A and B are shown apart, each in its own frame.
Chain A
Amino acid sequence: MDIIELNNENVSEYESVLEPDISESIGRMFYRGIAAVGEDNSPAGAMVWEYKNMEDEADTDAEIYLINSEGGDALASLLSEFDSQIKGSEVTMSFLELEDISEEEKKGLKDDGFEIKEGESRDIELTVEDVKSLMALKKKLGDNVVGLDELMELQFMQGVTNCLFKGKKGLVEDLEYLEKDWFDETASSCVITDGKVSGMFLIHRFSSGVLMPVLFHASGPDSKIDLLSMIAFSARRAVENYPSDTRIVIRRHNAMVKALAAKLFAGRTGREAISGCRG
């Protein structure tokens, strides 16, 4: 089975084995994707992962976002190529959380050394209708809370630089490489203090229309109030601009987000998912 390295030019040829929301990330700095092709050059499977902490001092990890195979041979080839590539990148730990995975793929991962378990997903799914109540978090918004569409390019760069210097990158490993228009400029919001962006609530809109907050940070003496203001502002923008059934996915990737999600959306839980870890 041949393995093809996915890139911006060829990714559209493998749409049948990829998911649109994941394939749009092919070409990003730390994303890697491979596809397995059969003898007839038809796609037989694909695997997409992202390197974490690649340019940091911390150990490099790899998170698998997609594994899709149409048979044992494709799966074995994909996993073999994955192992080879992560070895070259000195990856210490590999992990995954997937909702849609077959028994064969589960077994393949186990055989490849992954410890697999079933449990609740870290993601909770909401709709725009569900976030209407967040508009009331801050009844009167100051004029220092603005949408991303109101920021100039330089201000955006300054805000991102400020977050990165504070060690905050959210869910975005390649934050310093992304352009402003990668984020949803309608729903994303920022706080400006003394003419400088001191807080950012950045949301990405996937090609399927799903909204996902990817960075949520504020600094300075009024940071707690600013965080609430940004949530209220973004909720208002989402309600005004998107249909009420538009999906929003909150990834509870750290303790702070978990606690905040539990407070704002009490009782909401994630779906069943398979998680795995190796290393």
Chain B
Amino acid sequence: MNYKDMVIYGIAFACMAVLFFKNEHIRKRDTPDAKNIFMVLVLIVAGIVSDKCYMLYNPSFDDVNNETIFALKITLMYTLKFLRELIILFIIICWNRFVDFVVYKSLDHVKKKYKRAIIPAALFACIPIIIKYVRSPVFRELADLKRILAEWLGNWCYILQFYYVANAIWIAWKSNKERKAPTCLRLDVFVIPLVAGYAFNYIYAILPVDIWINYPFLIDWLTTFDARFPFLVLAAVLTWGTVKKRYRYMDPINGFYNKEFLADMNDYMEKSGYPNGIGVYFKVPRSEGRLIPVLNSIKPEDSEIFSLGEDEYLLMAGPQKESVIRLLIKSVKLGLAGVDDSLAVTSDYLIREKEESPEAFTKRLLDKAAAMS
């Protein structure tokens, strides 16, 4: 490893260490966001180790003078490459699933979608091998099933990475089109460093010829250095930065927005189409969060739940008839009775008036919440 690599990886490890030791949530892994970031950090470390093993392992025929052993060593080399690509793939999938879930709030959808790319990518992974086989006599001589399989697996992982990166960009774009998240709450900051990492790896291909001639050491470094890992560290750091901003407006454990979001984000909520027609209160003293899974299981789509603290919750949705609101309340009561029939739900609701501004409605909601407390 040359000094440039050592400096870059040194900075990357330092950033990860700071991120880990300075953030209690990541150390304790007590929130879904923190668990994901921790998993990403662990995978990055594993990925860097496998990348260095792959880069440093450079078998030469002269060392062994035996075709069979040399072919095995080549297979091992491709296996290390496959391992590296697999780890990067896991990182990208890990983040993809996290953001996909934040946008669609559907684990079933995430599970279904992520299986669909596997077979097409497996078929596409054959193409580079077929091209190599056709073009290179050396490849054909040394070809054996194990080596081809290892190379194919590496290609498959690499192609899937591109698919999931494109998928991540599409998710972020679609989410912004449907309902733009406020800047402090955005989770698409992972995408830009990730794409930059891939682009950096191919930058040598677009440099002018005189750079190649005059700076061969630079080209040598650019063609051997894998920039994806340092950029992934940057992506993890930036993502955690937005997650920390989110925690100002969101309960980190249950993921519900809080009173501060309601009070500060009126303008944004109105422009972004957040449901702001009715507010339904639920209060279950001493329930210790047992109402949360009930609310989550009954909450209609396009409604939002806000945590008002101390087992008090507010469900907001678009304009609804009172009979429908009463059905919702009845469902929640029935659901909670199924969990613990000793708990009693106090509920009430407010309907936004026709000419009432979002600020006035929010104030009424918060005043009502204070009165109920």
Contacts and interface: CB of A to CB of B under 8 A. Distances in A.
Nearest to A169: B324
Contacts of B346: none
B44 to A, nearest CB: 29
Interface string B100-122: 00001111110011000000000
Given A55-B321, A154-B334, A158-B297, A222 B112 contact: yes
A161 B108 contact: no
Interface centre among A166, A177, A221 (most CB of B within 10 A): A221
Contacts of B298: 154, 157-158, 161, 196
A154 B241 CA distance: 40
Contacts of B330: 157
Interface string A49-61: 0000001110000
A213 B326 CA distance: 25
A162 interface: yes
Contact of B331 (A55, A161, A219): A161
Contacts of B328: 161, 165
A164 B327 contact: yes
Contacts of B302: 165-166
B324 A157 contact: no
A166 B301 CA distance: 8
A162 B317 CA distance: 11
Given A154-B331, A164-B324, A222-B109, A195 B301 contact: no
A165 B108 contact: no
Contact of A165 (B303, B322, B323): B303
Contact of B335 (A55, A154, A160, A219): A154
The contact size tier of chain B is 20 to 34
Q: How large is the interface on A (under 10, 10 to 19, 20 to 34, 35 or more residues)?
A: 20 to 34
Contacts of B338: 154
B156 to A, nearest CB: 26
Contacts of B297: 158, 195-196
Given A154-B331, A196-B297, A165 B324 contact: yes
B300 interface: yes
Contact of B327 (A56, A166, A176): A176
From B109, B331, B338, name the one whose CB has the most chain A CB atoms within 10 angstroms. Answer: B331
B107 to A, nearest CB: 6
A193 interface: yes
A222 B109 CA distance: 7
28 contacts: A56-B321, A144-B108, A153-B334, A154-B335, A157-B298, A157-B330, A158-B297, A158-B298, A160-B327, A161-B300, A161-B324, A162-B300, A164-B300, A165-B320, A165-B328, A166-B301, A166-B302, A176-B324, A193-B106, A193-B108, A194-B109, A195-B297, A196-B298, A198-B301, A221-B109, A221-B113, A222-B109, A222-B112
Interface of A: 55-57, 144, 153-154, 157-158, 160-162, 164-166, 176-177, 193-196, 198, 219-222
